[in-house]
Amino acid sequence: MKKQLFILATVAAAFALAPAAHAQGIRLGVKAGANLSNLSGDLTDEDRFQNKVGFHGGVMLNVGLIDDGFLSLQPEVLFSQKGFEFDENRLFGLYNNKGNVTYNYLDVPVLLKIKAGGFYVEAGPQYSYLLKIKDESTRTIAGVITARSESERNIDNINRNELGYAAGLGYQSELGLLIGLRYNGSLTDFAKNNTYYNGELRNARNSVFQASVGFLLPGK
């Protein structure tokens, strides 16, 4: 409950800053889009870990550093779904375990943004906080479903605080509509003591590609 209240308070504070933003050349905006995520690093049986599609969305503030908008600073607060899919076959394919693991994060990137002629590039550090892990799987034997499961995983052995980076490019219209592509990389190992997910993750880190659309309110 405390996590949800924190997120709501953060969003409310961002909207509360909107009137002042107009007077200081700061533009409030919203954005949302799709994630394509997986794990990178020293993974046992790496082919088991497959790309997973997720969602991200939240608010952003664009702070102009130069009057013509060429250079700005853009902090964001985003809910982001990361993780991976898996598809395990054993006994010559008779036994199959298929599903996905979803990591729900709160991401806070702070990006330096350079814009020219509508096109922009951006890069900067990112802090992420893990909210929860959801595991879904379906097991079959000879094509017959024998079990389905959906549960939250214990996160005691997980580094919930993650430091990383983000970099991307995109296009922003004069009206404030924008479309962008971004990559998020982690500098923090996902698992404490390099063990998690059946002891098979060593130095594993989140790796995420993002495609998003958004809108910045007019500023002065």
Please give the pLDDT value at position 40: 83
Please give the pLDDT value at position 115: 92
Mean pLDDT is lowest, of 18-27, 34-43, 88-97, 150-159, for 18-27
Residue 100 — pLDDT band, cuts 50, 70, 90? confident
- Domain carrying residue 157: 2-216
Domain count, the chain: 1
- Report the candidate in 181, 185, 191 with the shortest Cα–Cα distance to residue 207: 185
HSE-CB for 168 with a 13 A CA cutoff = 24
CB 86 within 8 A of CB 100: yes
CB 72 within 8 A of CB 64: yes
The values of phi and psi at residue 154, to 5°, are: -70, 135
* b/e burial code for range 120-131 (CB count within 10 A of at least 16 → b): bebbbebebebb
For the chain, what percent of residues have pLDDT higher than 70?
A: 73
pLDDT, the chain, mean? 81
For the stretch 168-207, pLDDT in tens is 999 999 889 999 999 999 998 887 765 555 555 667 889 9
Residue 44 — pLDDT band, cuts 50, 70, 90? low
CATH code, domain carrying 73: 2.40.160.20
Helix (H, G, I), strand (E, B) or coil at 20: helix
